[in-house]
């Protein structure tokens, strides 16, 4: 499914967490202020354009912290480790692969804010958090603000948005909502998941929010079975990225691309010659394609013919960091496929394999930091992602739904005519925004 698309637009995207109660529903109203500009407003303000009156917006009266006095370096390192751990858990999937570790970890961090006991420790271990639990959220805030701080006109643009949809008559702790407001800027939209009609209306509103944040690339993150009468909370993270190559490619080429089974297919390709960060390693080549502003870049790893499986199996965060550190400006003729594909898969088993088991176990999960009870648990995690790369740049989108019951040198040439792995890396914060592989550019 390769199509012609306009100037690059990388839209990474969404993380949705749906939390559901396994015990009886508590029925007080949320202890939050519906409108920070109108402290005396007695009722929530309806969300414009999302339907019925039961879909209302409330939020904590705690403002977002816009100058957190913390460093996000440890969090970026943790995110890179989680990204490659998750890659190893997902690589058995067939075909091309694409996901957003930054978006996934951000959404899971909003759930982590309500976790306690063994559930919190398992989530911290799986997400590779080394910071104290209370320091995780200010670090996410600092990282988010750094990534999205205004740049010049010739740099990439990255927007991040967080939101919550909550069961209107379910009692969430004000302290939990305050944490999400202060560190994630997340307001709360009230909905009714208990009735078929209002649940469907809520699902459509959630999907519309996601579609709007991702410029229509993810239109139905939550499918018709994505919510149930037991759903109590949906946590969403949306990321939009737009960047152009510093040096565009020339298009109109075709190359023979070697598939994993030895067959070859002719695929559309692009080429350019320019000083490019490049390294030849033991059994692989790697290079980086810089986006305008020279802060973000795509790192491409190309194992030697016949060695992709071995390379993929050995790839971890430390090796990736070593490869990126070894890249040197080199006069390189780069030829590589253009490609466009999407992925959708479940993440529950992958997260359990990383040690996050209790969060999915009703009666064992401890999200008492959300509501003061042990009633909430994660039922499923669904991730959907889209990526398109052409002569001008990159467009991508990703969404995750978590249901909780819930090298001037002699000229070098490189032709990417075999399966490869790629990552979008923010250099300033050393953050992996997303990771993927291409085993067939025509899929």
Does residue 142 have a pLDDT over 80?
yes
Q: pTM for the complete prediction? A: 0.82
Ranking 19-33, 138-152, 190-204, 345-359 by mean pLDDT, the lowest is 19-33
Residues 202 and 170 sit within 8 Å (Cβ to Cβ): no
The residue with greater pLDDT, 106 or 18, is: 106
Question: What domains can be seen in the chain, in order of their start residue?
Answer: 14-243+341-404 (3.30.497.10), 247-337+408-438 (2.30.39.10)
Does residue 31 have a pLDDT over 70?
no
**Residue 23 φ then ψ, to 5°:** -120, -170
Residues 45 and 34 sit within 8 Å (Cβ to Cβ): yes
| Cα angle value 433/165/109 (rounded, 5°) | 35
Ranking 69-78, 218-227, 326-335 by mean pLDDT, the lowest is 218-227
Tell me which range, 79-93, 240-254, 340-354, 423-437, is most confidently predicted by mean pLDDT.
79-93
Tell me which range, 2-16, 123-137, 145-159, 236-250, is most confidently predicted by mean pLDDT.
123-137
The residue with greater pLDDT, 61 or 224, is: 224
Residues 403 and 226 sit within 8 Å (Cβ to Cβ): yes
- Confidence (pLDDT) at 2: 34
- Confidence (pLDDT) at 405: 54
Tell me which range, 61-75, 114-128, 160-174, 408-422, is most confidently predicted by mean pLDDT.
114-128
- Confidence (pLDDT) at 55: 64
Does residue 435 have a pLDDT over 90?
no
Please give the average per-residue pLDDT across 82-104, as a whole number: 92
Q: Residue 404 — very low, low, confident or very high, per pLDDT cuts 50/70/90?
A: low
Q: Residue 327 — very low, low, confident or very high, per pLDDT cuts 50/70/90?
A: very high
| 44: region left, alpha or beta (phi > 0 left; psi from -120 to 50 alpha) | beta
Please give the average per-residue pLDDT across 373-386, as a whole number: 81
- Confidence (pLDDT) at 157: 73
Helices (H), 127-233: 133-148, 174-184, 196-213
Residues 110 and 162 sit within 8 Å (Cβ to Cβ): yes
């Amino acid at each position: 499914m390769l199509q012609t698309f306009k100037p690059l637009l990388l839209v990474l995207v969404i993380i949705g967490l749906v939390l559901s109660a396994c015990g009886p529903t508590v029925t007080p109203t949320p202890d939050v202020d519906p409108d920070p500009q109108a402290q005396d407003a007695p009722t929530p303000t309806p969300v414009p354009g999302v339907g019925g009156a039961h879909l209302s917006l409330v939020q904590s009266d705690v403002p977002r912290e816009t100058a957190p006095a913390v460093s996000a370096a440890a969090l970026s390192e943790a995110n890179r480790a989680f990204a490659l751990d998750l890659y190893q858990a997902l690589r058995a999937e067939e075909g091309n692969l694409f996901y957003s570790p930054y978006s996934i970890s951000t959404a899971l961090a909003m759930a982590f804010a309500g976790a306690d006991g063994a559930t919190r420790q398992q989530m911290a271990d799986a997400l590779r958090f080394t910071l104290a639990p209370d320091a995780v959220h200010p670090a996410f805030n600092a990282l988010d603000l750094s990534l999205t701080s205004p740049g010049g006109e010739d740099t990439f643009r990255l927007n991040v948005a967080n939101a919550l949809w909550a069961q209107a008559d379910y009692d969430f702790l004000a302290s939990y909502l305050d944490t999400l407001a202060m560190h994630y800027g997340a307001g709360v939209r009230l909905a009714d998941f208990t009735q078929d009609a209002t649940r469907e209306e809520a699902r459509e509103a959630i999907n519309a929010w996601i579609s709007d944040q991702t410029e229509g690339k993810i239109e139905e993150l939550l499918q018709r079975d994505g919510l149930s009468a037991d759903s109590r909370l949906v946590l969403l993270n949306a990321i939009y990225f737009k960047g152009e190559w510093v040096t565009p490619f020339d298009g109109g080429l075709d190359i023979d691309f070697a598939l994993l089974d030895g067959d070859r297919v002719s695929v559309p390709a692009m080429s350019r010659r320019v000083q490019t960060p490049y390294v030849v390693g033991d059994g692989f080549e790697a290079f980086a394609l810089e986006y305008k502003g020279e802060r973000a870049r795509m790192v491409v790893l190309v194992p030697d013919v016949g060695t992709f499986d071995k390379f993929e199996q050995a790839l971890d965060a430390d090796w990736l960091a070593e490869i990126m550190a070894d890249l040197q400006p080199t006069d390189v003729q780069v030829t590589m496929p253009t490609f466009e594909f999407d992925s959708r898969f479940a993440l529950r088993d992958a997260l359990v394999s990383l040690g996050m088991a209790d969060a999915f176990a009703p009666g064992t999960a401890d999200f008492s930091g959300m509501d003061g009870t042990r009633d909430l648990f994660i039922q499923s995690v669904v991730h959907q992602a889209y990526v398109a790369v052409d002569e001008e740049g990159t467009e991508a989108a990703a969404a995750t739904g978590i249901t909780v019951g819930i090298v001037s040198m002699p000229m070098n040439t490189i032709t990417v005519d075999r399966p490869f792995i790629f990552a979008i890396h923010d250099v300033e914060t050393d953050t992996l925004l997303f990771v993927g592989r291409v085993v067939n550019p025509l899929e």
